[in-house]
Structure 1
Amino acid sequence: MAATKENPIIFYDLHDGKGSSWSPNPYKTRMCLNLKGLPYRVEYMLLSEVEHKLKELGVGPTSDTFPHYTLPVIADPSSDPDGNPTYVAESFAIAVYLDEKYPAPKYPVIFPSGTRGVQHLLVNQYLPSLVGSLIPMLFPKLPQILDEQTMDYLRRTRPPELLKPLPEEEETKKWEDARNKFIGVAKSLDFNGEDSFIMGSQPSFIDFAFGGAFFLIEKIDGARMKIIADGKWGNYWKRLQEIEGNSSQVD
C-alpha cells in the first residue's frame, strides 16, 4: 500500500522548542520525501525525548555508540489496514527504503542508477570531515535557536568543549578555512556544468546531505551563510530550497 494524503508516511523530526525543525539529519529525509512527492505528516519531538519515544514505538537503536537512538525515523503505512507500519531509521537507510518501495519511473529516484555506493562513500567518509570543520563554530551558538530543555540535555550528554565559544580570532580563521574547503568542492562541481547537482543534472541524497549543513548554518548564522553560500553554492542552495518549498507534507 502506497502512502496517501489520508494515510501518509509519518516523519519523526526534531524541533527547537518552538515547533521548527533545526537538525541537518532529519532535513535529508524531509528532502527525500519532497523529491518523491510522497505525502507525509511530521511528528516533532525534543532531542531529550528521542530515546524514550523510539523505544515506545519499538524502533531499535541506530548506533552502538552514544547517542544510540537518533532521528530521522519514518513510519510507512502497512498494506494491511489492520497492520503495523514499517519503521525505518537513519537517513541513508530511509532513502534506500524509499527508492525500493516507491521506485521509478512513477517516483523520482533518490539514488540515480549506479550511484548508491559512491554516495554512501561520500556521505560517510568525505562529508564528515567537511561538515566537522563547522562544528566548533556552530555548536556554541545552538542556544540561539534551541529551547532550554534541549540545551540542558546537550550540556549533560556532550563534551563541554563542544559548546564552548571559540575566541573571536580563532573562530574567524576557522570560518575562512571552512569557506575555502567549500570553494574547493565548488571547483570540482564546475566540471558538471553551471546548474548541476553533485551527481549530475538531478538532485540526489548527497545533495540533501550538503543541504543539511547549509540548513543549520542558515538557522544559526544567516549572515555567515551568505558568505559560505556565495557564487556557485548560492545558486545550488537556492535550487535545494525550491525542493524544500515544493513540500508534499500534509496536515
Structure 2
Amino acid sequence: MITFYDFICPPPQATKSGNTWKTRLSLNYKGLPYKTEIIEYAEIAQLYKKNGIPPAIVFPNGYAHHTLPVIKDDITGHDVFVVDSLEIAKYLDKTYPDSPRLIPDVEDVDAQIQEFQNQLNGAVIAALPVMFKASVPHISENSQAFYKAARVRDLNFIFPDKPISSLDDLQFTPEEIHATWASLEQGFDGLSERFGGKNTFRWALGDHITYADLILAGLLLCVKAVHGEDSPQWQGFMTWSDGKWKTFLDNLGPYLSEDN
C-alpha cells in the first residue's frame, strides 16, 4: 500500500497545496490504491529525519529544505520513500507499468515538461506574493510560523531585489490585488494556446493527460481552495480564456477526489 503525506488544513478539510495535489492527482489518474497521512508543516523535517530521507534540497548556505509531497511504498516488502512530485511520478510509472503513464515515453520529455513548467512560472510569478499572503489563513495555527518563514525564503530567492523579513510585511491595497489578478489573467491567456487556443482543447503535451497537466491542475486547485469555490476570484478565473480552465478541470473531473 502507498502512503501519501499531505498537509493538515483548517476546516473545511480541503487540500490547499498545489505541490501535494500533483501527487494526489498522479495516484488518482493511475488508479493506484493509497492512504493519506496528514501532517503539519512543522512536522515535515521530523518525517524526513525519522525515516532517513535525504533533504529535498540543500541550499548553498547549508539550509536543508524538507517539503511535501512524499510517498511511502511497501510493495517490495520494505518501505521505500520518494520525494518531489516529478520524481514520484517517475517512480510510479516505473513501479506500476500497467497503469496509465504520467511521463510519456518520448524523446526529450524532461525538457518538454521543464519548458511547460517555465511557461507556467512566467504566467504566475508576479502573483506569488499576493497568493502566498492569501494562503496564510488556510494554514493550521501550529504551522503558520513555519509556513511564513518558508514563503519568505521563497520570495527572497525569486525576488532578490525586493527582500522581505516577514510575510506580515506584505500589505496590498485592493487596487494592487486587482492589478495582480489582471496580470494573472493575461498570463493565462498566453498559456491558453498550448491547450488548443479558442474553441479547441488539447492537453499540455498532446492528446493525453500527462504529469505536465497535473502541474497546472495542482495550481488551479490550490487557488480554488484558498479563495473558495463561490468566491468572485474563482468564479472569474473560470471564465478566463473563454472558459478554457473550467474545461480543463472538468476534463480532469474523475481524478479530483480527496477521499483516500
State TM-score, norm by structure 1: 0.85
Q: Would you say the 8 A contact 2:68–2:84 is kept in 1?
A: yes
Q: Which moved more, 1:71-80 or 1:17-26?
A: 17-26
Give the deviation of 1:67 after TM superposition: 5.8
Gaps of 5+ in 1: 1-7
Q: What secondary structure does 1:201 align onto? A: coil
The amino acid that maps onto 1:36 is K
Match of 1:102 in 2: 96
CA distance in 1, matches of 2:111, 2:199: 20
Task: Note if 1:75 corresponds to 2:68.
Answer: no
**Cα distance in 1 for residues equivalent to 2:200 and 2:40:** 39
Distance 2:122 2:55 in 1: 24
Deviation at 1:113, TM superposition (A): 2.3
Matched ranges for 1:10-25 at <5 A: 10-18=3-11, 19-25=13-19
Deviations 1:208-246 (A, max 9, x none): 11011111111112331222232111110222233213x
SS of corresponding position for 1:179: helix
In the TM superposition, residue 134 of structure 1 has moved relative to its aligned partner by 2.7
- Identify the residue that residue 196 of structure 1 maps to in structure 2: 202
1:26-79: CA deviation from partner (whole Å, max 9, x where unpaired)? 110111111110000011111111011221121110101356111111111142
- Aligned 1:124-139 pairs, distance under 5 A: 124-139=117-132
Q: Contact 1:136–1:166 at 8 Å: present in 2 too? A: no
> Residue 23 and residue 60 in structure 1: after superposition, are their counterparts in 2 closer, same or farther (change >3 A)?
same
Q: Shift in Å at residue 193 of structure 1?
A: 7.4
1: CA distance between counterparts of 2:10 and 2:51? Answer: 22
Stretches of structure 2 lacking an aligned partner (at least 5 in a row): 153-164
Q: Which residue of 2 aligns with 1:229?
A: 238
Per the normalisation by structure 2, the TM-score is 0.82
- 1:101-120 aligned within 5 A: 101-103=95-97, 106-114=98-106, 116-120=109-113
Root-mean-square deviation (CA), in Å?
2.3
**Aligned equivalent of 1:210, options 216, 221, 234:** 216
Residues 1:132 and 1:241: Cα distance change in structure 2 (over 3 Å): farther
CA gap of 1:156–1:190, structure 2 versus 1, over 3 A, is: closer
Specify the alignment match of 2:45 in structure 1. Answer: 51
Distance 1:156 1:193, change over 3 A: closer
Q: Is the 8 A contact 1:73 1:90 kept in 2?
A: yes
Where does residue 156 of structure 2 map in the other structure?
none
May I ask how many residue pairs the two structures share in their alignment? Answer: 236
SS at match of 1:22: coil
**Aligned partner letter, 1:228:** F
1:91 aligns with one of 69, 85, 91: 85
